[in-house]
């Protein structure tokens, strides 16, 4: 968690990551620019209501949101599904990574902004990436931003279906639905990252956006994945389950659904060399 006194640094860093000025944030949150300056410098502590209003405008993922709230001396927003006596009901990120490393099929964890925060070796081998060294910049590990990168997009044979999953999540987001006409600062930067990829996918994205309804959040749901690897067509069921509800983390398991896919993943596993994000 963010240390007391450091929440203001985290707040400032969150704003800057979205390329917003202090005046921009003040306008979006309905507070004065002087208040934003005072909060970020640590000269003044906001009320919980004011801080929540600012965080609602910034829309950071829940883990960062809760760290800022707790650092400022307030209770976090999140609620646990588990009985109160089970303090380890949800996964920490380290526990999630250990769990992924023991999973025999490709699997990863997304936060509630669709950013990859943990991944096992099989998914990295399937994607032909090394996430210890690659895709380390802002939004580069976001599943929607990756959808316009030919390195991934050209291997997704059901691209429209996969992008519709991301669109549905943002249209039904728990912090408020996103719209192309008036995106939040976070979603605006994500769209810019997507648009910075191959332009062939931008028009397709707009078409899929118009056709896709919002998704009703569930703790367990799935989506189809059809992936080209070498000369083989692989088919998975992408199963989404809760990892840490309070911090908006979800497991994504790409489970093989035919013998061709299962055989390919078994060959990947035989050559695995343990390349997790925490290594």
pLDDT tens for residues 19-44? 999 999 999 999 999 999 999 999 99
pLDDT in tens, 237-262: 999 999 998 889 999 999 999 999 99
Q: What is the CATH number of the domain that holds 265?
A: 3.30.450.180
Same domain for 196 and 162: yes
Does one domain contain both 16 and 131? no
Q: What CATH number is attached to the domain comprising 46?
A: 1.10.260.40
80 domain residue, yes or no: no
Residues 47, 159, single domain; the answer is no
Q: Is the pLDDT reported for residue 274 higher than 50?
A: no
Residues 137 and 62 in one domain: no
- Both 106 and 237 in one domain: the answer is yes
Residue 78 in any domain: the answer is no
- Give yes or no: residues 156 and 257 share one domain: yes
Residue 195 maps to a domain = yes
Number of structural domains in the chain: 2
Structural domain of 141: 93-270
Note whether 120 and 192 are same-domain residues: yes
The reply to whether 108 and 194 lie within a common domain is yes
pLDDT digits (tens, 9 = 90+) for 63-96: 889 999 999 999 887 654 454 545 678 899 999 9
pTM: predicted TM-score of the whole model, two decimal places? 0.83
CA 56 – CA 54 distance, rounded (Å):
5
Whether residue 279 lies inside any domain: the answer is no
Q: Is 214 within the bounds of a domain? A: yes
Evaluate whether residue 116 is within a structural domain: yes
In a domain, 81, yes or no: no
97, part of any domain: yes
Q: Are residues 151 and 209 in the same domain?
A: yes
């Amino acid at each position: 968690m963010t240390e007391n006194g450091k929440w203001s640094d985290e707040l400032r860093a969150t704003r800057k990551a979205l390329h917003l000025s202090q005046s921009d944030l003040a306008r979006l949150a309905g507070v004065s620019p002087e208040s934003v300056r005072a909060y970020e410098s640590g000269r003044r502590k906001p009320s919980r209501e004011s801080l929540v209003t600012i965080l609602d405008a910034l829309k950071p993922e829940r883990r960062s949101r809760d760290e800022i709230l707790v650092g400022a001396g307030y209770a976090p927003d999140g609620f646990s599904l588990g009985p109160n006596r089970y303090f380890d009901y949800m996964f920490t990120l380290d526990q999630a990574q250990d769990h992924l490393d023991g999973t025999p099929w490709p699997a990863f964890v997304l936060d509630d902004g669709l950013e990859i925060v943990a991944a096992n070796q099989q998914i990295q081998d399937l994607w032909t990436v090394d996430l210890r060294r690659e895709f380390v910049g802002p939004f580069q590990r976001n599943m929607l931003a990756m959808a316009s990168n030919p390195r991934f997009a050209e291997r997704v044979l059901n691209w429209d279906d996969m992008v519709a999953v991301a669109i549905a999540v943002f249209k039904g987001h728990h912090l408020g639905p996103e719209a192309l006409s008036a995106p939040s600062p976070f979603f605006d930067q994500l769209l810019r990252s997507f648009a910075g990829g191959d332009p062939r996918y931008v028009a397709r994205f707009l078409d899929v956006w118009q056709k896709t309804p919002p998704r009703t959040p569930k703790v367990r749901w799935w989506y189809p994945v059809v992936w080209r690897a070498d000369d083989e067509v692989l088919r998975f069921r992408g199963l989404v389950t809760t990892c840490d509800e309070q911090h908006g983390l979800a497991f994504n398991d790409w489970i093989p659904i035919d013998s061709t896919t299962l055989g390919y993943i078994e060959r990947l596993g035989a050559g695995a060399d343990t390349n997790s994000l925490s290594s």
